[in-house]
Structure formats: structure tokens, C-alpha cells
């Protein structure tokens, strides 16, 4: 059985990946349990992972080079590092740029140095559709490498993390794969992301905050489709950049209507000023994901929202004390 490292193991995608793969790999999960959003949901995810076979947890800040050096033995006999750890969110990145630089750029560089030192076969670096900005009617092409003028601090820190890792690992035999995720949602999701916030607010009869008129569209992608894409990367040895996103887009207003229907409740909508650097639409090209990985999403938005709502109802008691708003949104 292969030994792998999964960073961001208590994050949304990391948690779901480990739950799906703990019988396939011996997994060392790394997470700093930072305060990028309410820590209680990270602790909830960790509690659900503790019973998984072949899973070991390390509480570690990857941006802290000295702390990482003290734990460097975890890289021995590891075949793949799946780097999902990051600080996400465009709006927040303008309020706390230093944390984004540390968690997205410095941490990725520190990890790449250990991948090089221990001659690890594969380094999978999760990235984001935010790098592309607003695509309009065009598709975000997967083969775009070092993108000029990233549209936000968040996008810049993720893009530069990619660039640093590639340069650090140049002239090595390490396979570098970069999946770029498009607006992921689903069970155990982030409380700062739109769909889970909307489900919570509508379910609890709170005001639903929309920045702008709600017509902005996103390629909402259900988490199980993202996990299937990551599984494809583990079985392929092609370096490259791969978009993992839905080939359909939906507006925030359309998503709210679907949640209203599922909960049989009406949303109390409050429109606020459009958020800084918010985009109208991002369309993923899936050309390489389809042709090389034979991957495309299969979960409809209706089924994905239904599964998210059912999960929320199941965990409603555990979620009642979790913050679904940033302090500045009060």
C-alpha cells in the first residue's frame, strides 16, 4: 500500500478525499487548523477522520520552515504529496494579504523543497479557477501556465506557488500535476462558500446576503466529482494543468431558487454592494481533463444541492454554532 501525504486534511476537499481513499493508501494528513474560517468545522471534519483506517494526523503549519524541518521524517517512503492546504477566498485576501502569502506561496515552496529532497515521485498542487479571472464567453484554457496579471491577491499567491514549485523541481523526475478547481460545494463544505451559506441562512430564516444582483454565474462543481478527478491523477503519470469544473454554469439566483425548492422555504434576500474583484462568469475548458484523464463531472446541480441539504439536516445540531459570516459582514 502506497504512503501518501495529504495537506489541508481537515479542509473541505482534503476531508472528502481521505474519507474516500483511506482504504487505498496509508495517509499522513497535515493541517494547521488555522482561522481562515470557523475552526469548529475543521475540528468536526477531523473527528470524522479519526476512525478511518490508515490515517495519521499531523498538526503542522507548512509555512513554518523550522516546524517542518522537525517533522521531515514524514516524507520518507512517500510516493505522492497531494497539496490541498491553502487559504482561499478573493475578498478575504485583500483584508489579510500576509496570511495568504504565507499559507499559499511560502507553504507550497517549503513543501516543494521537501518533495525534491526526498525524491518524491509525484506532487499534486491544488489550484483555483480564481487564477483565470472573468472569462466572459471564452473558456479558461488548461494549458495556460504562468498567467500574467492575476486578478486578485488570492489568485496571485496561488499562481506564484505553482511557479515556485515548478522552478524548485525543475530537472528532477517528480511529476507535477496542477488541478484547478471551480467553485466546489457539497457535504462538509466551507461555511464561507455560497451554497452552504445559502442552505444555512434559508434553513434558519436568516437574511441571505448577495453581493451584487445575483446574476453572476459560477461553474458549481460537486465535491465527489472533484474527488474522482483527483483519483484519476493518482492513476496517471502525465504532468500538466487540468481544470476540474462543471461544464455548465448557474447564477447565484438560480442556485437560491433550487435550495428554496429543496427546503420548501423562501429566502430573505438582502443585496449588498458587489464585492471587490468579483467576476461575472468563469467557464472551464475541460479539453485536457477529458482527453488525458478521461474525466468530466457527472453530478447535476439538482442532485448536488439535494445531497448538500440532506447532509446539512443530518449535521444541523453540530453546525448551529458555526459562523457562516465573517466579522465584517455583520
* Cross-strand pairs, 284: 140
Give the residue carrying C-alpha cell 471534519: 45
- Catalytic pick among 100, 132, 154, 185: 154
For the chain, state the CA radius of gyration.
Answer: 19
154 in active site? yes
Which grid cell is 212? Answer: 451584487
Give the whole-angstrom CA distance, residue 300 versus residue 248: 9
Contacts of 125 by beta carbon, 8 Å cutoff, 6+ apart: 83, 108, 161, 162, 165, 176, 177, 178
Give the whole-angstrom CA distance, residue 182 versus residue 133: 12
CB 40 within 8 A of CB 23: no
| Angle, vertex CA 115, rays to CA 109 and CA 118, nearest 5 | 140
By annotation, the residues acting in catalysis are 154
Amino acid at each position: 500500500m502506497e504512503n501518501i501525504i495529504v495537506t489541508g486534511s481537515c479542509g473541505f476537499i482534503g476531508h472528502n478525499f481521505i474519507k474516500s481513499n483511506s482504504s487505498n493508501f496509508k495517509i499522513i494528513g497535515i493541517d494547521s487548523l488555522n482561522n481562515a474560517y470557523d475552526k469548529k468545522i475543521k475540528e468536526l471534519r477531523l473527528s470524522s477522520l479519526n476512525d478511518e483506517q490508515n490515517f495519521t494526523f499531523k498538526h503542522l503549519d507548512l509555512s513554518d520552515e523550522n516546524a517542518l524541518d522537525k517533522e521531515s521524517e514524514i516524507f520518507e517512503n512517500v510516493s505522492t504529496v497531494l497539496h490541498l492546504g491553502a487559504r482561499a477566498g478573493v475578498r478575504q485576501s485583500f483584508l489579510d494579504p500576509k496570511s495568504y502569502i504565507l499559507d499559499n506561496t511560502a507553504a507550497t515552496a517549503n513543501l516543494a523543497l521537501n518533495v525534491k529532497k526526498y525524491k518524491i515521485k509525484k506532487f499534486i498542487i491544488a489550484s483555483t479557477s480564481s487564477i483565470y479571472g472573468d472569462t466572459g464567453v471564452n473558456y479558461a484554457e488548461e494549458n495556460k501556465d504562468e498567467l500574467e496579471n492575476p486578478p486578485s491577491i488570492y489568485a496571485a499567491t496561488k499562481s506564484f506557488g505553482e511557479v515556485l514549485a515548478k522552478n524548485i523541481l525543475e530537472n528532477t523526475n517528480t511529476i507535477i500535476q496542477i488541478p484547478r478547481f471551480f467553485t466546489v460545494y457539497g457535504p462538509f463544505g466551507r461555511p464561507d462558500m455560497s451554497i452552504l451559506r445559502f442552505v444555512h441562512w434559508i434553513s434558519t430564516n436568516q437574511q441571505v446576503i448577495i453581493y451584487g444582483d445575483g446574476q453572476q454565474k459560477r461553474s458549481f462543481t460537486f465535491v465527489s466529482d472533484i474527488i474522482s478527478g483527483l483519483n484519476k491523477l493518482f492513476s496517471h503519470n502525465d504532468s500538466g494543468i487540468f481544470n476540474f469544473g462543471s461544464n455548465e454554469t448557474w447564477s447565484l439566483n438560480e442556485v437560491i431558487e433550487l435550495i428554496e425548492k429543496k427546503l420548501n422555504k423562501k429566502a430573505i434576500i438582502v443585496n449588498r454592494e458587489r464585492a471587490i474583484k468579483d467576476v461575472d462568469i468563469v467557464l472551464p475548458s475541460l479539453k485536457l481533463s477529458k482527453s488525458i484523464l478521461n474525466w468530466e463531472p457527472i453530478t447535476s446541480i439538482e442532485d448536488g444541492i439535494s445531497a448538500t441539504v440532506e447532509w446539512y439536516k443530518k449535521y444541523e445540531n453540530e453546525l448551529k454554532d458555526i459562523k457562516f459570516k465573517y466579522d465584517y459582514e455583520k
